[in-house]
Structure 1
């Protein structure tokens, strides 16, 4: 793997065309990462500097943007670092070792009481047999007001209980089974008829998937919540974004190429063929992490540590090594969930269901946090089209 490039303060400021004080302001806002350097000096991530420099234009307020050019929203939910992600300061990997998704929900939702203790019991509608898990979830959320007469409430005292009800209701819709008043990982294990070590892996996968800062689906939820849309409607926004092949449905693309690998002899053939065709390798690489996705590392380590691992797990180290050699990328959470699906011979949509069921907790956390903000999320566009004549701008 290549090593990151770091610049001195003078070099970074020169590339950006700013004074050192402005450089330090960018660092304090999280726009540029820095590391200890020689003596008391610090070094600055060249990739961040160059991404930021490439997006500067005269008059642009870069201090409101991340190093990737995205608008910044303040949050107290999740911190992402190259070492891992943290839920309200607690390492998600540590929580994955023993906590349930419900326990993580009470952490992310900042609960003083257990909202799952008396969550609303609700029956799901009848779904067409051809409906997939995400279609069932969107349909179930759309009719939530017919189930819950207080579905439109924004009362802080009620929203957490609504969230708990919606998590159980949503998980049941994803599974296509009745709502159960039991931990989500147990309901999923029961639906898929798995037990033993696999149940702990399902629980860990849900916890690791619960939140990942301001990803696309979380941003969609926050935009809806900023308009004061009710909680179920905000979740529909999240599911819609999640359904795209570049987000939650990316796991389908991972499974598509993994279907071609049945033995060790297939690994080189499949990966070389994708490379020669110029095809990407879904499940590898991540826009946020400079090296590897710590969520994938955590889940894969748990899977490969199982006693008497499934045959497919023996292929994983070779797949990962060859992917890095040929594509220069490491696994992300999509690959890890696809591996878990295959390791336990789970249903075709299992990885996607785990990801979405866990992520519902994070979406609710973002909605709750956004409801407390006064501002409407309304980014401005950078117009690149033809300029009308006679208009001053």
Structure 2
């Protein structure tokens, strides 16, 4: 019978940070299960940890270390904007879940941008009712990127002004109404959501505002490192967010929910896992004890029975807990939002973080340009 270790015991045997342990779990290299005495905590398979510890003791080449840093590895870029520590998401020293109880996206932008002045997102008025959604968001940011000023050599205040303007245009393209007021209120008007629903949108936007060096943020930083306009940096982030392994996870969850309703939750889970498909909406490499963003958002949502049954079945089968994508799907179903609302909320909230990271990268005055390890053929020597 396998021995199972606590989180603290696993970290001690591997001599790694918590994020590295969670990365091993997400890659399937360490088995995990709920603690039978306390289901809120997880246990880790000792045999897997022993095998990993042995391989680590043999040493790794610099090339292997560099390659592992790309995928949930050790920190690769310095930032003072956000981090994940001890299962909490931190925005410049503030707990993001606690902040989401009262803050607006504008106030969160002021914090993440370290801005001395209040932040507002101008939503230009129009007599027309423009098309909204993903295509409109890409089109609007592309137009701004083509017209934008390069970011190189400019100060933070000027770059933040560009970012605020681009975020306002993005909000309009994603369904917010033009006018004054906080962006979550304008979005609620566009989606015909009441005051209670608007407050849930506010909370979601704050929780999504940043998440350390995720894939879309890294793309935004790469663009910024070349001196690209801030709108172009946001466009790079938006393009990366559109993938099903990032901002499209909540929509993928809807497919799993439909399977669960048709086949039963246990059968649907077995079918997805049997085809080696990850379960969207569940688990997160940085949060083995549960995603605090999901917990903070789900607190105010009346989750429907279909999602509840799926949540309970997934936990019983795998020990994985809901992540923020599950919470966004629950929010969308509860408020009867557009089907792609999770992506829209993700894009609008995260645009604040993309701007923060883009400006930080520009100010650092360094180019992100890693080397590749070539494995193809070489010409013959003559």
String of CA shifts for 1:275-306, please: whole Å, max 9, x gaps: 45554321112233233222112212232xxx
1:344 lines up with 2:347 in the alignment: no
Aligned to 1:108: 112
How far apart are residue 233 of structure 1 and its match?
A: 0.7
Aligned to 1:187: 186
Structure 2 counterpart of 1:88 = 92
Q: Any conservation in 1 of the 2:123–2:168 contact (CA below 8 Å)?
A: no
CA distance in 1, matches of 2:229, 2:118: 21
Matches of 1:54 and 1:377 in 2, distance apart?
A: 31
**Counterparts of residues 1-393 of structure 1 (less than 5 Å):** 3-4=6-7, 6=9, 12=14, 53=56, 57-60=60-63, 62=65, 66=69, 68-69=72-73, 72-116=76-120, 119=122, 121=124, 133-144=133-144, 151-152=149-150, 154-175=154-175, 179-260=178-259, 266-303=264-301, 309=302, 312-386=303-377, 390=381
With normalisation by structure 1, the TM-score equals 0.77
TM-score of the superposed pair, with normalisation by structure 2 = 0.79
* Range with greater deviation from structure 2 (271-280 or 379-388): 271-280
Q: Aligned in 2, Cα 1:316/1:54: closer, same or farther, shift over 3 Å?
A: farther
After superposition, the Cα gap between the structure-2 partners of 1:120 and 1:285, relative to the gap in structure 1 and judged at 3 Å, is closer
Q: Aligned equivalents of 2:137 and 2:58: distance in 1?
A: 38
Of residues 366-375 and 157-166 in structure 1, the stretch that sits farther from structure 2 once superposed is 157-166
- Kept in 1, the 8 Å contact 2:257–2:306? The answer is no
Structure-2 change in CA distance of 1:85 and 1:158 (3 Å): same
CA pair 181-329 structure 1, distance change in 2 beyond 3 A: same
- How far apart are the structure 1 equivalents of 2:209 and 2:284? 17
SS in 1 for 2:83: strand
Q: Assess if the C-alpha contact under 8 Å between 2:137 and 2:170 holds in 1.
A: yes
The Cα shift of 1:343 comes to 1.0
Relative to 1, partners in 2 of residues 1:50 and 1:223: Cα closer, same or farther, differing over 3 Å? Answer: farther
Cα distance in 2 for partners of 1:203, 1:137 equals 20
Q: Please state how far the C-alpha of 1:135 moved relative to its aligned partner.
A: 1.8
Rounded to whole Å, the distance in 2 between the matches of 1:288 and 1:191 is: 34
Structure 1 residues 48 and 382, CA, compared in 2 at 3 Å: closer, same or farther?
farther
User: What is the CA-CA distance between 1:387 and the residue it aligns to?
Assistant: 5.0
8 Å Cα contact 2:177/2:189 also seen in 1: no
Q: Distance in 1 between matches of 2:221 and 2:84?
A: 18
Segments of structure 2 that go 5 or more residues without pairing to the other structure are 23-47
- The 1:221–1:123 alpha-carbon spacing in structure 2 relative to 1, beyond 3 Å, is farther
Shift of 1:357: 0.7
Q: Which has the higher contact order (CA 8 A, sep 6+)?
A: 2
User: For residues 50 and 366 of structure 1, do their structure 2 counterparts lie closer, same or farther at Cα, with a shift above 3 Å needed?
Assistant: farther
SS in 2 for 1:139: helix
Tell me which moved more, 249-258 or 137-146.
Answer: 137-146
Q: Distance in 1 between matches of 2:54 and 2:360?
A: 29
Alignment check: 8 A CA contact 2:200 2:300 kept: yes
Deviations 1:202-240 (A, max 9, x none): 111111000000000000000000001010111111111
C-alpha offsets along residues 233-264 of structure 1, whole Å, 9 cap, x if unaligned? 1111111101111111122111222235569x
Question: Where does structure 1 lack aligned partners over 5 or more consecutive residues?
Answer: 13-22, 34-44, 304-308
**CA RMSD across the alignment:** 3.6
